[in-house]
Amino acid sequence: MSKGIDLNKYFDTPKHDVVQVLDEKGKVVNKDLMPDLSDDQLVELFKEMLWSRILNDRSTKLNRQGRLGFFAPTAGEEASQIGSHFAMEKEDFLLPAYRDVPQLVQHGLPLAKAFQWSRGHIDGNKYPETLKALPPQIIIGAQYVQTAGVALGLKKNGAKNVAFTYTGDGGTSQGDFYEGMNFAGAFKAPAVFYSQNNGYAISVPRHVQTAAPTLAQKAVAVGIPGVQVDGMDALAVYAVSKAARDFAVAGNGPVFIETLTYRFGPHTLSGDDPKRYRTAEEEEEWHAKDPLTRMRLFLTDKGLWSEEQESAWEEEVNAQIDAAMQEVESAPKQKVSEYLKDTFIDTPAVIQEQIDKFVAKEEN
């Protein structure tokens, strides 16, 4: 009698070795993976993470005061965002999603422009030529297909640079997520794709997105390496990101990285209430994994960080934020005529007619 086909044996069993360097107490648990960073660099990495947390807290307040507009909180994701960006070179190209403003500012976007983007001012997206990046992408997945194009462009130009992009856990269900990685794979283009898996897409938990046990294994579908990393561990995220960048620059094609992380705040400040879909216990459990806590402990143990340094840095960051807000709040109002002028380079007659109308109106 035929035994038939046993479909159970066709389940792909992914590796579940989550890359970790620091544990929750700031102890090095994997010396072999310890990245090659100087003391100064380690301090710089932590300062950037702290900067990101302060920026998050201040942005939340500024939003509530009505001084900022759209804001997607980042607290809890400092290791994932800053740790990964720390592996980028200045000439690498960044394609952020709407939550990835911290990386964009670290990459060279003036803070005042980031605030203008939040408020909805065109000047926030006028990038200096030296900034290799696109503005935060609102259409979830679009940044992935565009990354394939940027990476192919870098390759064709012979640049020794890489395109970096980010989406969340929900974003891995989009068609563009698959297409972007598949194109980059087929063209062996230098790209690093991140899924920052914080467990929820607004209110929808990760397990509703897919039956796949990891998101990292989605790389298998396009034939590229997929790595799952402790997204609350900045040194692990940096180590994996650096390896991925080196791999891509060497002409081996793209890499996909899943960072296991958590957002301490709501999805955005546009009315989302995580209490509707998350438990207090769960939040507490993740707060114990705070990426800042373990980096702080690690650096303090090494004698590289003190409370005094932290207070001084906080003061400096707050002053930066105040200065940027002042710049934004004294900026000139936008003009519809400028919008019209930016719609085409070679302005069509029908647009020119509208420009003339608005210029006349704006002069009154």
Partner 1 sequence: MAKTTMIKAITQALDQELKRDDKVLIFGEDVGKNGGVFRATEGLQATHGEDRVFDTPLAESGIGGLTLGLATQGFRPVPEIQFFGFLFEVMDSVAAQISRTHYRMGGTVKMPVTIRSPFGGGVHTPELHSDSLEGLVAQTPGIRVVIPSGPYDAKGLLISSIRSDDPVVFLEHMKLYRSIKEEVPEEEYTLPLDKAAVKREGKDVSIITYGYMVQESLKAAEELAKEGIDVEVLDLRTVSPLDEAAIVETVKKTGKAVIVQEAQRQAGVAAAVASVIVEKAALYLDTPVGRVSAPDTPYPFSEAEDDWLPNKQDIIAQVRETVNF
For residue 211, state whether it binds partner 1 (rule: CB under 8 A): no
Q: Per CB under 8 A, which region of 23-31, 82-90, 149-157, 268-276 contacts partner 1?
A: 149-157
Answer for which of 212, 336, 351, 355 binds partner 1 (CB under 8 A) is 351
Answer for which of 1, 5, 280, 345 binds partner 1 (CB under 8 A) is 345
Q: Per CB under 8 A, which region of 100-108, 120-128, 321-329, 356-364 contacts partner 1?
A: 120-128
The rounded distance, in Å, linking the Cα atoms of 327 and 329 is 6
For residue 182, state whether it binds partner 1 (rule: CB under 8 A): yes
Query: Could you list the active site residues?
Result: 263, 267, 277
For residue 195, state whether it binds partner 1 (rule: CB under 8 A): no
Q: Judged by CB, which is closer to partner 1: 112, or 234? A: 112
3-state secondary structure of 295: helix
Q: How far is the CB of 111 from partner 1 (least distance, A)?
A: 18
CB atoms within 10 A of CB 151: 31
- Compose the 272-311 pattern: x for residues touching partner 1 by CB under 8 A, - for all others: ----------------------------------------
Among 189, 230, 266, 227, residue whose Cα is nearest residue 83: 230
Q: How far is the CB of 347 from partner 1 (least distance, A)?
A: 9
Task: Give backbone dihedrals phi and psi of 126, rounded to 5 degrees, phi first.
Answer: -85, 100
For residue 89, state whether it binds partner 1 (rule: CB under 8 A): no
For residue 176, state whether it binds partner 1 (rule: CB under 8 A): yes
For residue 199, state whether it binds partner 1 (rule: CB under 8 A): no
Burial of 213 (0-12, 13-18, 19+ CB in 10 A): middle
For residue 346, state whether it binds partner 1 (rule: CB under 8 A): yes
- Applying CB under 8 A, what is the total number of residues that bind partner 1? 43
For residue 120, state whether it binds partner 1 (rule: CB under 8 A): no
3-state secondary structure of 188: coil
Q: Per CB under 8 A, which region of 8-16, 31-39, 133-141, 311-319 contacts partner 1?
A: 133-141
Q: Per CB under 8 A, which region of 96-104, 172-180, 296-304, 312-320 contacts partner 1?
A: 172-180
Handedness of CA 142, 145, 148, 153 (dihedral sign): negative
Q: Per CB under 8 A, which region of 32-40, 153-161, 192-200, 270-278 contacts partner 1?
A: 153-161
What is the signed CA dihedral for 35, 263, 147, 21, rounded to 10 degrees? 10
Provide the strand spans (E) within 191-350: 191-197, 200-201, 204-205, 226-230, 255-260
Among 251, 103, 271, residue whose Cα is nearest residue 187: 251
The rounded distance, in Å, linking the Cα atoms of 352 and 198 is 47
Answer for which of 333, 349, 363, 364 binds partner 1 (CB under 8 A) is 349
Q: How far is the CB of 137 from partner 1 (least distance, A)?
A: 9
Contact indicator for 302, 35 with CB cutoff of 8 Å: no
Q: Judged by CB, which is closer to partner 1: 22, or 340? A: 340
3-state secondary structure labels for all residues of 101-136? HHHHHHHCCCHHHHHHHHHCCHHHHCCCCCCCECCC
Give the helix/strand (H/E) hosting 312: helix 307-329
Binding site for partner 1 (CB under 8 A): 93, 122-123, 125-127, 129, 134-135, 139, 142, 144-154, 156-157, 163, 175-176, 179-180, 182-183, 186, 339, 341-346, 348-351
